[in-house]
Amino acid sequence: MGRITGALFASLSLLTVATSPAIADDAQLAAILFGRNYNDGVTAVSVWPGHADRGGGGAAEPTLQTPARLRAAQAEVAADPTLQAAIERRHIALHNVVWVETAANGGRILYYR
| CB-based contacts of 38, cutoff 8 Å, min separation 6 | 86, 89, 90
Q: What's the pLDDT score for residue 80?
A: 94
Assess contact for 61 and 78: CB atoms under 8 A: no
Residues in the chain: 113
Tens-digit pLDDT profile for the chain (113 aa)? 667 766 666 666 766 655 555 555 655 676 666 667 788 889 888 887 655 555 555 554 555 678 899 999 999 999 999 999 999 999 999 999 999 999 899 999 999 88
So where are the chain's domains?
1-34, 38-112
Name the pTM for this structure.
0.60
